[in-house]
Amino acid sequence: MEAQSLSVKRAQVEFHNFASLGEPERAFRIYAEENERRGAIIRSHREFIGELSPFLEVGANAGHSSYMLANEFEAGGFALDISADALRHGIALQDRWGLSRAPVRVAGDALNLPFRDGALRFVMTHQTLSQFLDLDAVFREISRALAPGGVFLFSEEPIKRLLSLRLYRCPYYDTMKGWERKLFDWGLLGYLVKDVIGAHQEESFGIRQNHTMGLKDWHELIRRHFVDQRYQIFVPQRGWGETVVRNLAVKLDRMHSDWLPARLLGGTLAAVCCKAGSAEVKADLGRFESLLRCPDCHGGLKRDAQERLVCAGCGYQAENEGGVYNLIRAAERKELYPGDRDDLIDFSRPSHAARLLDGWHELEGPFGNQYRWIAERASARLIRVKAGPQRLRIRGHAHEKSFEQGRPVEVKVKVNGAPAGAWTLERRGLFILEADVAAAKEYVVEVECSPVWSVPTDERRFTVNLSMLRLVDREPGG
């Protein structure tokens, strides 16, 4: 079983670039709330965890929880995410929150951590493990990078729920329909949906989710890789529908714990796991490169006068790009971060305008969440640069005003004049549209949308906004 395909990694890069600080005020608030929860878990297990430096946060997104470790807990270490852009956007947190300390920011792959064996004392991750299909592979890699006696903390990972009819998939609260919000507030919606509420958004981007782990599965996984552990279980108590069942299940549980309620109602798990052995980790974070290894040949890395990380063994290099080192395998880095390329229109890059044709409004949006509105139609040109079957991928957003006329958003796409696909969007929010395209040297992409709407203070006409058009390799069997 492949733990995570290249297409999923590409989807993660795109999603976090777009979403990490796409709505800054909302993101700052959410990140502060997450740090409050995560900091409380660390403090409640502080004695068991022990020394925090050097630390690594895997799947750090904007790095907000790594900033918390560096400042609130005065620890030194690394924030790692597969999205270099998310880490770069997160530098804004340091200014916004007035922080004096920052982690070393590294773009990397959880399945090939760019750290030497036994280099780290503490590793943590939040809302990340469920994005891997083979969790053993992730645990092996984290255990490898941990020193003997080191500690791995994960939290906010979903527990499979038994009491559910699994009828359909439901989005986040702010994009729910009215009847869904009522059932959610009453604590009844969880009895209907297939998996974690909100997972549909990441899945729609192409990020595969693993929601198959019950409490017993998590425990067996942890025991395969670590010798001791502590758990915290968080059971949902949304409205009377879940509160009544949770309280009854606590009474029926022979230890009056949350173990039985979590089996029935799901929820999330936090675990603090200790690796066998004991060793003191001495690290000079002023020479942080001494803890790293080359993602290609696994040799040591040196930092040169230009602040580049260089491997003497294979010649791998990583520039310091806006405070972030990209330490992903060279072959994958080339695909995940293609830069300016004729088969890609990324609206966060100034060069994107050269490949736009007709129908685009001016550029808007902060950080990586930059976009252009269109009215009824817009067109752009992509030029093929890679061999093999290709697939068109369009990323955009449907505004809530699109649905005020009481009908869904309709999107039709033509490629070189021929219909490529038609989609109906029932909810506001981010969307990804994909369609196979016939072999050609050049592709003129036309996007047609309805309904059209406007606002009193603006003469323009709107439908949806778009932030990326690109060609990607067609998946085998696709």
Q: What is the DSSP string of 101-119?
A: --PEEEE-BTTB-SB-TT-
CATH number of the CATH domain containing 428: 2.60.120.1320
Does residue 12 sit within a domain? yes
Query: How many CA atoms, within 13 angstroms, populate the side-chain half-sphere of residue 208?
Result: 13
**Which residue type sits at 397?**
H
- Residue 297 CA to chain centroid, in angstroms? 27
Query: How many CA atoms, within 13 angstroms, populate the side-chain half-sphere of residue 88?
Result: 18
pTM, entire model:
0.92
Asked whether residue 367 falls in the same domain as residue 245, the answer is no
Asked whether residue 263 falls in the same domain as residue 351, the answer is no
Asked whether residue 51 falls in the same domain as residue 172, the answer is yes
Asked whether residue 360 falls in the same domain as residue 263, the answer is no
Parallel/antiparallel/unpaired status of strands 55-58 and 77-81: parallel
CATH number of the CATH domain containing 18: 3.40.50.150
Does residue 108 sit within a domain? yes
Q: What contacts 413, CB < 8 A, 6 or more positions away?
A: 392, 394, 419, 420, 421, 422, 433, 435, 445, 446, 447, 448
Does residue 336 sit within a domain? no
Does residue 294 sit within a domain? no
Asked whether residue 385 falls in the same domain as residue 248, the answer is no
**Which residue type sits at 327?**
L
Asked whether residue 107 falls in the same domain as residue 246, the answer is yes
Helix 215-225 to helix 135-145 angle, to the nearest 10 degrees?
Answer: 40
Asked whether residue 224 falls in the same domain as residue 118, the answer is yes
Rounded distance between C-alpha atoms, residue 264 and residue 245, angstroms: 9
Element spanning 269, H or E: strand 267-274
User: Of 221, 255, 274, which residue sits at a domain end?
Assistant: 274
Asked whether residue 146 falls in the same domain as residue 244, the answer is yes
Distance set, CA 85 to CA 62, 225, 319, 352 (Å): 8, 32, 14, 17
Rounded distance between C-alpha atoms, residue 22 and residue 20, angstroms: 6
Q: Are 394 and 466 in contact (CB under 8 A)?
A: yes
User: Of 233, 253, 274, which residue sits at a domain end?
Assistant: 274
Parallel/antiparallel/unpaired status of strands 377-383 and 442-450: antiparallel
Asked whether residue 261 falls in the same domain as residue 364, the answer is no
Does residue 23 sit within a domain? yes
457 DSSP assignment: T
E strands, 403-461, are 409-415, 418-425, 429-437, 442-450
Rounded distance between C-alpha atoms, residue 110 and residue 126, angstroms: 13
Q: What is the pLDDT tens value at each position of the chain, 478 positions in all?
A: 688 999 899 989 988 887 787 788 889 999 999 999 999 999 999 999 999 999 999 999 999 999 999 999 999 999 999 999 999 988 999 999 999 999 999 999 999 999 999 999 999 999 999 999 999 999 999 999 999 999 999 999 999 999 999 999 888 888 888 999 999 999 999 999 998 888 877 888 888 889 999 999 999 999 999 999 999 999 999 999 999 999 999 999 999 999 999 999 999 999 999 999 998 888 888 999 999 999 999 999 999 999 999 999 999 999 999 999 999 999 999 999 988 899 999 998 889 999 999 999 999 988 778 999 999 999 999 999 999 999 999 999 999 999 999 999 999 999 999 999 999 999 888 899 999 999 999 999 999 999 999 999 899 999 999 999 999 998 765 5
Does residue 295 sit within a domain? no
Does residue 322 sit within a domain? no
Q: What is the longest distance spanned by two Cα atoms in the chain?
A: 68
User: Of 274, 309, 329, which residue sits at a domain end?
Assistant: 274
* Res 17: pLDDT: 80
Asked whether residue 364 falls in the same domain as residue 445, the answer is yes
Query: How many CA atoms, within 13 angstroms, populate the side-chain half-sphere of residue 95?
Result: 6
Rounded distance between C-alpha atoms, residue 104 and residue 63, angstroms: 10
Q: Tell me the torsion sign for CA atoms 10, 13, 14, 16.
A: positive
Asked whether residue 20 falls in the same domain as residue 122, the answer is yes
Does residue 288 sit within a domain? no
Please give the tally of structural domains in the chain: 2
- Give the domain range for residue 86: 6-274
Q: Which residue's entry shows tokens 């093999």? A: 388
